[in-house]
Amino acid sequence: MPQAEARGKNASVRAVSAADVEPAAQTLGRAFHDDPVMTHFLPDGATRTARLARVFRILLKLGMPHKSCFVTGACESVTLWRPPNRWHVPFTAYLTNAPQLLSIFGLGVLRVMATMDMMEKIHPKEPHWYLQTIGTDPALQGKGFGSAIMRDRLADVDAKRLPCYLESSKETNIPIYRSFGFEVTGEIAVPGGPKIWPMWRRPR
């Protein structure tokens, strides 16, 4: 078994620390470089990864107080969860980060906010864990890091007997999420852009 694959299958998972924020944000920036939704909002491929890292730095800092952001050993894979009844990001958080968001997206931030509003309107109200983001460094995808971090978190969620929710922005990822028990519940059409697939998982 190749060394990276062996490492991935046996990867340790831990909560994100302050020291992890920057490498974790960089990992997610690379992981989402070819994401259809991110490509739609950030069409400049030359600057997209760096801009995405800045977005994920904000999301990590917003999520860390909930103690629900996790990484594998060397930040090969990163996941951001939000706990039951805490999935909604307060408008004040957007206001606080408005200058940064404007510098990342430009006036396109209005389209981003409109899409977020569409997503929030159909977000389930039943108590659940929300998988906001999961990503693995492209150089290490398929080596087991993403599966390891997903299994670790789902084991904890199942122990609490709670469902989970996510939105897949890549159609090719749907079978992967299905293998973990998620099922598509609908479609969200980004105005002038790609589709997003909401997915729900009952506890096992």
CB 80 within 8 A of CB 160: no
The pLDDT value given to residue 52: 98
pLDDT over 70 at 146, yes or no: yes
Give the CA count within 13 Å in the CB-facing half-sphere of 142: 3
pLDDT of 3 reads 66
Helix (H, G, I), strand (E, B) or coil at 49: helix
50-101 pLDDT tens trace:
999 999 999 999 999 999 999 999 999 999 999 999 998 877 887 888 899 9
Please give the residue range of the domain that contains residue 83.
3-201
Structural domains counted in the chain: 1
Q: Is 54 exposed, middle or buried (0-12, 13-18, 19+ CB in 10 A)?
A: middle
- CATH code of 96's domain: 3.40.630.30
Task: Return the SS3 of 41.
Answer: helix
Per-residue pLDDT tens over the stretch 150-201: 999 999 999 999 999 999 999 999 999 999 999 999 999 999 999 999 999 9
Tell me the C-alpha distance between 92 and 42, whole Å.
Answer: 24
Confidence of residue 5 (pLDDT cuts 50, 70, 90): low
